[in-house]
Amino acid sequence: MLRRHARFFESLMLAVCGGLLGLVMALTANAVVARVEIRRAWLVGAALLGLLGLAFLLPIGRVAFDSLALESAFYAGLVFSPIFCGGLLFGSSIKRSPDVTVDYGANLLGAMVGGVVEYLALLLGYQALLVIVAACYAGALVFRSRKGVARVTAAGS
């Protein structure tokens, strides 16, 4: 009985720490965007897709370290660094947006779709979730670049 409660507590604490780390990554991205102008969003997008690919190729447990703390830090960075890159992309688009309501609406829609897709991970697995997330981010990056081209064309006319 005590062992079952200990496992539950450990799972709960890991979930809470994961949520906090995700929040820290998003807030750090906002702090960076507030101070630095991101001119090459495609570079951040490439890093984001690369990190997702790396997470796909190195599932948790594939790389082992002598230190459990070092291994935990490695996998936490691998799993949560795409949140940082996504925050950089979103923050920079909000910063340059002529219509913030559209961008926040797209972000809300993405969050809702992401929540549904997250439940699919329970059925399909984490690796499949990474593929779906990478496809969604790639689509968003393509849309972002086309939206930027449309703005430049409209401003030039």
Give residue-wise pLDDT tens across range 24-75.
Answer: 888 899 899 999 998 888 899 999 999 999 999 998 888 888 888 888 888 8
**Count of the separate structural domains present in the chain:** 1
- Rounded CA-CA distance 104/130 in Å is 23
Q: Find the range with the poorest average confidence among 18-22, 44-48, 150-154.
A: 150-154
Residue matched to tokens 């996504």: 86
94: pLDDT strictly greater than 60: yes
- Please choose, from the candidates 34, 53, 57, the residue with its C-alpha nearest in 3D space to the C-alpha of residue 45: 53
Nearest to 32 by CA among 83, 80, 87: 87
What the block records as the tokens of 133 is 């997330």
Residue numbers of the domain that contains 102 = 2-156
Q: Is 10 exposed, middle or buried (0-12, 13-18, 19+ CB in 10 A)?
A: exposed
